[in-house]
């Protein structure tokens, strides 16, 4: 009886350690997948942000040249362009939660929880 009980404990100990090891591997893989999706989304958001920034920069430069022709002074035209950037900055600071923080948080949450939805398809 003692030998059977001893064998039973040894076998179950091996099974439990295999189970725990498998669960840890699964946790590591899930973490790596979630982290890689989040980092790729962060890189994509950064690239898009730089593209929008350059678009705005060239748009304001064109506006500045237009205003300098209209006002007859390059200084006044580029001051108007600086004013546009100052207005964009003020609006960005005033509405930073609604424009940047909340959408980014939703995007990262959606990206990190998307893996659970993918497993069912």
C-alpha distances in angstroms, 52 versus 47, 86, 100? 9, 16, 14
Residue 84 in domain: yes
What is the residue whose two structure tokens read 């009980």? 5
pTM of the full structure? 0.65
Q: What pLDDT does residue 110 have?
A: 83
What is the count of structural domains for the chain? 1
The Cα 88–Cα 91 span in angstroms is 5
Q: What pLDDT does residue 117 have?
A: 53
Q: What pLDDT does residue 118 have?
A: 52
Ordered mean pLDDT values, 10 residues apiece, the chain (121 residues): 74 88 92 87 92 94 94 94 93 90 85 62 46
The Cα 3–Cα 113 span in angstroms is 48
Residue 120 in domain: no
Q: What pLDDT does residue 37 have?
A: 85
Residue 99 in domain: yes
Residue 121 in domain: no
Q: What pLDDT does residue 38 have?
A: 85
Residue 105 in domain: yes
Range of the domain at 58: 2-115
Q: What pLDDT does residue 5 have?
A: 75
Residue 69 in domain: yes
Q: What pLDDT does residue 121 have?
A: 46
């Amino acid at each position: 009886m003692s030998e059977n009980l001893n064998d039973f404990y040894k076998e179950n100990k091996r099974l439990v350690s295999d189970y725990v090891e498998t669960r840890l591997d699964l946790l590591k893989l899930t973490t790596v997948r979630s982290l890689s999706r989040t980092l790729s989304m962060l890189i994509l958001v950064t690239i898009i942000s730089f593209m929008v920034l350059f678009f705005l920069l060239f748009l304001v430069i064109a506006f500045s040249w237009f205003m300098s022709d209209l006002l007859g002074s390059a200084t006044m035209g580029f001051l108007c362009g600086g004013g546009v950037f100052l207005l964009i900055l003020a609006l960005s600071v005033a509405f930073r939660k609604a424009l940047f923080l909340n959408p980014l948080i939703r995007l990262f949450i959606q990206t990190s929880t998307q893996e659970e939805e993918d497993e069912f398809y």
